[in-house]
């Protein structure tokens, strides 16, 4: 009991002392922090004798009683490390009975751990220990697949010995300077089906910059090299090294992804363009919102998966460009506690927590809780934004075959609406000079509130080794309430900006139920992995509010606070979308190096629109079949050559002049490419594609009040990306995209015009290096280059957004449970433009910013 009190007291004092040291009281607080374990033990012993709380026993201690008070962070770290038994070397030796694992130490004996079997693995967790360098050895002897010695949170070291047919057995003995495990092979016949334990991985495996698999493309955990379509993962380590807090920052690492006309500073709305066209957003493989991106909160995101091109075969109605899937953090089987604090330019402050672990003794109920709060200003006037989010997750391993996970997420943000500035005076010449970059075109009092509640579950049951079923449900309630002045157009004088006022309330409710089975079977020598499912989806989107006229604004001598004008419009409508989809996919292994993917989905989609002010309503129904075919050939294990064909559909509400219902908008893609393992840790993908968006609405020249669906847009291009570890400690993620996205048919815009905001050339590179040994071990550096070429600002191609090259950098230091980082963005402080909504709304990029982050993991 005393030892438990001591451990908790030490950790509590250390953590809160570090928090206070960050705010400026390092000297005094650190001295109180660094009480030696002996002092705490003495206080705890007194508490047991007297019955008083341990905090009161510790409080009266004088600083003179300290044996070795630390005065620097280095000394503090050294004292923590000195209290642990350090494992300096691991040796594996073959014996007549099996093998012998020797753990050598330099400062004392290790505690004798209890061992337990999990599946075919024998596990021994050693308390109060640390290891200088983690160890693993595959196939040391016949019957043993792997021996690994790794560190765990909570000052523990795990020894895992995995047998090929059964868990090994071991006798553990202690020595003066270490620990010895005498390992013998287990008896496979003695392991009954009831004794076997299925290992369920509830957390993402850390694969650095180079994840090997993703579920977005196939709904199965398929290696990326076996997927006949371009897919890229932005993993956790990249998000951490770049200190990503917005989805747009994560997507800079994906070639072929461009920004639309919405500011990246808008917390709740994203408009990423993949291969020139809009993208859909998913969370853990489920559509949450079709019109808006899910709330991106970095504290709850494990990775970001980007599938380029149509994906309706598995996910139903969607945009042509592709899918952005947010993979959230899941509960862990071992206790984990993380705290993070950040501060940066423009009064940026942020804090987040991440807790996880088991809730019962046998580890069948696991939890994870992430939370974050953030406040920031910006480089332009009157911008003040706050947001926070809470995300609890609970996993219940009901049995060896059955598991259910419950998730919830609540996020809220308050911020003004960033509309950018007119092109004349920023990109184009203005007779009055350049418009100041910090000019705000709305009113200082304008603001908006955005909140979203997400609830859901994911149920999985395995009937056998080859068949399982998954049933997942997600509910989303999303609200926007805003009162803001917006820009309309610039007068010929180049300084008078005409404006309007809008006060909308938007509410969207989504219900998504997806059920599918995954099965593996053989037909002769041909292997199959089948996915068959049904998807029910409903979205209710309501918009109500009014518009008013607003006084114009002199961009060079603004006078804010003038009274608003009369109401110019009112609106109150509701659109309900329902669809049911049936899908089937078969991943066929014809030969070990030849794989075929066949898939198809049939959807029935209905849309009903109601205008409550006009007392009108409309209804329409569409059916669509979306196929996908792909093939992968691997001439050698390190090379995958692939080709694919896929389609997407998106219902369109409306009728032509003759009363015919609009047909769904369709996307059609042909893609060929190559994926290569450059080494064990470094992969590259090269893709060539032809993507067409058809049935695009365009004005009916014979009936100006109507539209027809003769519009067509086409994107052709080349993409290359590389990710992984070049050398130990040296990581890279980068790529290049050539995108030729043009209008091929239209009644309004000239055929041949480029699609707005899509650069022909774009390049991204982020590389980091961390020292692996020596006195500066743990010190790392990062460098990022992001190039975006010239691109048109509208479909008329009336003006061009200039190219830019942004340079980012980072320096960080990791040691045991502590990490400190400085991230620099736009270090050369270039003036650049992210994108444009139209000629009156050009979105400016951010100037030089710096962000400092401290984090502790226990």
Q: What is the pLDDT of residue 4?
A: 37
Using pLDDT thresholds of 50, 70 and 90, give the confidence band for residue 190.
Answer: low
Are 158 and 150 within 8 A, CB to CB? yes
Q: What is the DSSP string of 164-185?
A: SSS--EEEEEEETTEEEEEEE-
Cα separation of 184 and 171, whole Å? 9
Measured at the CA of 335, the angle between CA 334 and CA 336, to 5 degrees, comes to: 110
Distance of CA 511 to the CA centre of its chain: 22
Cα separation of 549 and 565, whole Å? 5
Cα separation of 458 and 476, whole Å? 15
**CB-based contacts of 258: which residues, under 8 Å, 6+ apart?**
272, 273, 276, 739, 757, 758, 759, 762, 788, 791, 835
Q: What is the DSSP string of 772-820?
A: -SSTTTTEEEEEEEEEE--EESSTT--SEEPPEEEEEEEEEEEETTEEE
Question: Average of pLDDT values for 544-560?
Answer: 94
Pairwise pLDDT comparison (269 vs 240), residue with the higher score? 240
Q: What is the pLDDT of residue 22?
A: 35
Cα separation of 684 and 682, whole Å? 7
Q: What is the pLDDT of residue 262?
A: 81
Q: What is the DSSP string of 256-320?
A: TEEE-SS-TT-SS---EEETTEEEEEEETTEEEESSSPPP--GGGEEEEEEEES--HHHH-S--S
SS (H, E, C) 824-857: EECCCCCCCEEEEEECCEEEECCCCEEEEEEEEE
- pLDDT 10s digits, 759-811: 999 999 999 999 988 889 999 999 999 999 999 999 999 999 999 999 999 99
Burial 294-317 (b: 16+ CB within 10 A, else e): bbbbbbbbbbbbbbbbbbbbbbbb
Please count the helices (runs of H) and the strands (runs of E) in the chain: 8, 45
Cα separation of 426 and 823, whole Å? 28
Q: What is the pLDDT of residue 313?
A: 74
Tokens representing residue 136 in the block: 């693993």
Q: What is the pLDDT of residue 289?
A: 57
| Burial class of residue 715 (count of CB atoms within 10 Å of its CB; 0-12, 13-18, 19+) | buried
Please name the residue that has the structure tokens 């815009």. Answer: 749
Cα separation of 335 and 337, whole Å? 7
**CB-based contacts of 822: which residues, under 8 Å, 6+ apart?**
810, 811, 812, 850, 851, 852, 853
- pLDDT 10s digits, 39-87: 434 444 444 444 444 444 444 433 334 445 555 545 555 555 556 788 8
Residue 585: how many CB atoms within 10 A of its CB? 22
Which is nearest to 662 in space by CA: 705, 634, 622, 689? 622
Measured at the CA of 125, the angle between CA 122 and CA 131, to 5 degrees, comes to: 115
SS (H, E, C) 582-612: EEEEEEEEEECCEEEEEEEEEEEEEEEEEEC
- pLDDT 10s digits, 274-311: 999 988 888 888 876 555 566 688 899 999 999 998 88
Tokens representing residue 122 in the block: 């024998």
Measured at the CA of 611, the angle between CA 605 and CA 616, to 5 degrees, comes to: 90
Cα separation of 340 and 354, whole Å? 9
Q: What is the pLDDT of residue 74?
A: 58
Are 698 and 708 within 8 A, CB to CB? yes
Bridge partner list, 709 = none
Measured at the CA of 379, the angle between CA 373 and CA 383, to 5 degrees, comes to: 55
Using pLDDT thresholds of 50, 70 and 90, give the confidence band for residue 191.
Answer: very low
SS (H, E, C) 609-665: EEECCCCEEEEEEEEEEEEEEEEEECCCCCEEEEEEEEEEEECCCCECCCCCECCCE
Bridge partner list, 391 = 370
Which is nearest to 469 in space by CA: 480, 460, 458, 481? 460
Question: Average of pLDDT values for 99-115?
Answer: 82
Measured at the CA of 234, the angle between CA 670 and CA 283, to 5 degrees, comes to: 80
Q: What is the pLDDT of residue 404?
A: 97
Cα separation of 647 and 628, whole Å? 7
Q: What is the pLDDT of residue 151?
A: 83
| Burial class of residue 670 (count of CB atoms within 10 Å of its CB; 0-12, 13-18, 19+) | middle
**CB-based contacts of 604: which residues, under 8 Å, 6+ apart?**
579, 580, 581, 621, 622, 623
Q: What is the pLDDT of residue 618?
A: 86
Which is nearest to 395 in space by CA: 329, 300, 338, 469? 329
Cα separation of 63 and 70, whole Å? 11
Pairwise pLDDT comparison (205 vs 82), residue with the higher score? 82
Q: What is the pLDDT of residue 198?
A: 36
Q: What is the pLDDT of residue 129?
A: 84
Question: Average of pLDDT values for 150-179?
Answer: 82
User: Reduced to 3 states, what is the DSSP secondary structure of residue 245?
Assistant: coil
pTM of the predicted structure, to 2 decimals = 0.76
Residue 114: how many CB atoms within 10 A of its CB? 9
- 66-75, 217-226, 692-701, 750-759 — which one is most confidently predicted on average? 750-759
Are 766 and 815 within 8 A, CB to CB? no
Please name the residue that has the structure tokens 């769904």. Answer: 664
Using pLDDT thresholds of 50, 70 and 90, give the confidence band for residue 705.
Answer: low
- pLDDT 10s digits, 507-530: 999 999 999 999 999 999 999 999
Question: Average of pLDDT values for 662-682?
Answer: 91
Give the phi and the psi of residue 18 in degrees, each rounded to 5. Answer: -65, -40
Residue 634: how many CB atoms within 10 A of its CB? 18
Q: What is the pLDDT of residue 292?
A: 58
Segment among 58-67, 307-316, 438-447, 691-700 with least mean pLDDT: 58-67
How many percent of the chain have pLDDT more than 70?
A: 85
How many percent of the chain have pLDDT more than 90?
A: 54
CA 522 vs CA 13, 36, 122, 294, 412: distances in Å: 60, 63, 33, 39, 50
In the chain, the domains with their CATH numbers are 2-82 (no CATH), 86-190 (2.60.40.3470), 213-328 (2.170.130.10), 336-857 (2.40.170.20)
Half-sphere exposure of 225 (CA within 13 A, CB side): 21
Which long-range contacts does 66-69 make (Cβ < 8 Å, 24+ apart)? 66/31, 66/34, 66/35, 66/36, 66/39, 67/36, 67/38, 67/39, 68/36, 69/31, 69/34, 69/35
CA 354 vs CA 68, 271, 375: distances in Å: 33, 28, 19
Burial 417-435 (b: 16+ CB within 10 A, else e): bbbbbbbbbbbeebeeeeb
* pLDDT > 90? residue 696: no
Q: Are strands 115-118 and 779-788 parallel, antiparallel or unpaired?
A: unpaired
CA 510 vs CA 191, 247, 410, 540, 575: distances in Å: 47, 21, 15, 7, 12
- pLDDT 10s digits, 598-656: 999 999 989 898 999 989 988 888 888 999 999 999 999 899 999 999 998 888 777 77
Q: What is the pLDDT of residue 83?
A: 62
DSSP state of 424: B
């Amino acid at each position: 009991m005393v030892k438990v009190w001591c451990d908790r007291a030490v950790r509590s004092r250390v953590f809160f002392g570090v928090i206070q040291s960050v705010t400026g009281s390092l000297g005094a607080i650190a001295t109180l922090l660094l009480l030696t374990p002996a002092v705490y033990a003495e206080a705890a012993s007194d508490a047991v004798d007297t019955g008083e709380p341990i905090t009161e026993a510790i409080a009266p201690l004088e600083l003179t009683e300290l044996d070795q008070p630390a005065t620097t962070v280095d000394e503090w770290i050294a004292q923590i490390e000195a209290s642990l038994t350090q494992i300096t070397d691991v040796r594996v030796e073959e014996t007549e009975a099996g093998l012998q694992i020797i753990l050598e130490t330099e400062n004392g004996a290790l505690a004798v751990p209890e061992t337990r079997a999990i599946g075919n693995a024998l596990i021994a967790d050693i308390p109060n220990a640390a290891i200088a360098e983690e160890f693993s050895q595959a196939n040391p002897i016949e019957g043993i697949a792997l021996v690994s010695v790794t560190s765990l949170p909570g000052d523990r070291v795990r020894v895992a010995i995995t047998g090929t047919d059964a868990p090994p057995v071991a006798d553990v003995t202690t020595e003066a300077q270490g620990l010895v495990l005498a390992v013998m092979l287990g008896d496979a016949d003695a392991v009954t089906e009831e004794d076997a334990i299925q290992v369920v991985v509830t957390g993402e495996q850390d694969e650095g910059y180079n994840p090997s698999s993703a579920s977005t493309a196939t709904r199965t955990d398929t290696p990326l090299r076996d997927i006949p379509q371009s897919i890229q993962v932005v993993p956790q380590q990249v998000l951490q090294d770049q200190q990503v807090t917005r989805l747009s920052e994560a997507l800079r690492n994906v070639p072929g992804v461009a920004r639309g006309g919405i500011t990246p500073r808008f917390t709740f709305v994203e408009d990423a363009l993949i291969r020139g066209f809009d993208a859909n957003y998913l969370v853990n493989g489920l559509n949450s919102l079709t019109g808006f991106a899910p709330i991106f909160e970095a504290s709850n995101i494990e990775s970001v998966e980007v599938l380029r091109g149509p994906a309706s075969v598995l996910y139903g109605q969607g945009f042509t460009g592709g899918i952005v899937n947010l993979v959230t953090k899941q509960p862990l089987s071992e206790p984990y506690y993380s705290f993070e604090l950040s501060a940066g330019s423009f009064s940026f402050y942020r804090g987040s927590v991440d807790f996880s672990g088991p809730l019962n003794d046998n580890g069948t109920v696991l939890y994870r809780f992430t939370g974050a709060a953030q406040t920031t200003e910006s480089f332009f006037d009157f911008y003040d934004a706050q947001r926070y989010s809470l995300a609890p997750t609970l996993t219940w391993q009901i049995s060896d075959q059955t598991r259910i996970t419950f998730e919830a997420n609540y996020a809220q943000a308050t911020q003004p609406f960033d509309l950018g500035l007119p092109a004349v005076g920023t990109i184009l010449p203005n007779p009055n000079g350049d418009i100041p970059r910090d000019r705000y075109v709305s009113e200082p009092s304008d603001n908006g509130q955005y909140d979203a509640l997400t609830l859901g579950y994911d149920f999985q049951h395995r009937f056998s080794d080859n068949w399982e079923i998954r049933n997942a449900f997600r509910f989303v309630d999303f609200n926007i309430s805003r009162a803001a002045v917006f820009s309309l157009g610039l007068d010929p004088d180049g300084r008078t900006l005409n404006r309007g006022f809008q006060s909308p309330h938007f509410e969207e409710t989504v219900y998504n139920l997806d059920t599918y089975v995954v099965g593996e079977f053989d037909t002769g020598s041909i292997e199959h992995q089948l996915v068959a499912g049904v998807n029910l989806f409903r979205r209710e989107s309501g918009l109500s509010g009014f518009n008013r006229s607003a006084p114009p604004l002199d961009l060079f001598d603004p006078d804010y606070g003038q009274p608003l004008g009369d109401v110019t419009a009112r609106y109150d409508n509701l659109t309900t979308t329902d669809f049911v989809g049936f899908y089937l996919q078969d991943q066929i292994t014809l030969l070990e190096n030849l794989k075929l993917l066949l898939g198809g989905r049939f959807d029935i989609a209905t849309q009903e629109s109601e205008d409550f002010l006009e007392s009108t309503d409309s209804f329409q129904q569409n059916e669509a079949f979306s196929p996908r075919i792909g093939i992968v050939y691997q001439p050698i294990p390190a090379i995958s050559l692939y080709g694919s064909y896929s389609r997407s559909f998106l219902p369109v509400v409306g009728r032509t002049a003759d009363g015919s219902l609009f047909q769904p908008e369709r996307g059609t893609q042909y893609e060929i490419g190559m994926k290569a393992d450059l080494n064990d840790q470094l992969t590259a993908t090269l893709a060539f594609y032809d993507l067409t968006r058809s049935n695009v609405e365009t004005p009916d020249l014979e009936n100006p009040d109507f539209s027809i669906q003769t519009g067509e847009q086409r994107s052709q291009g080349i993409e290359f990306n590389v990710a992984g570890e070049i050398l130990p400690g040296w990581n890279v993620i980068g790529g290049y995209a050539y995108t030729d996205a043009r209008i091929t048919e239209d009644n309004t815009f000239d055929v041949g015009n480029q699609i707005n905001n899509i650069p022909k050339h774009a390049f991204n590179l982020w590389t980091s290096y961390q020292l692996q040994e020596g006195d500066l071990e743990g010190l790392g550096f990062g460098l990022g280059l992001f190039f975006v070429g010239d691109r048109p600002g509208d479909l008329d191609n009336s003006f061009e957004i200039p190219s830019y090259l942004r340079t980012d950098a980072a320096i960080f230091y990791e040691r045991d449970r502590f990490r400190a980082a400085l991230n620099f963005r736009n270090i050369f402080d270039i003036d650049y433009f992210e994108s444009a909504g139209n000629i009156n709304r050009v979105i400016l990029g951010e100037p030089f910013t710096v962000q400092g982050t401290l984090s502790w993991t226990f």
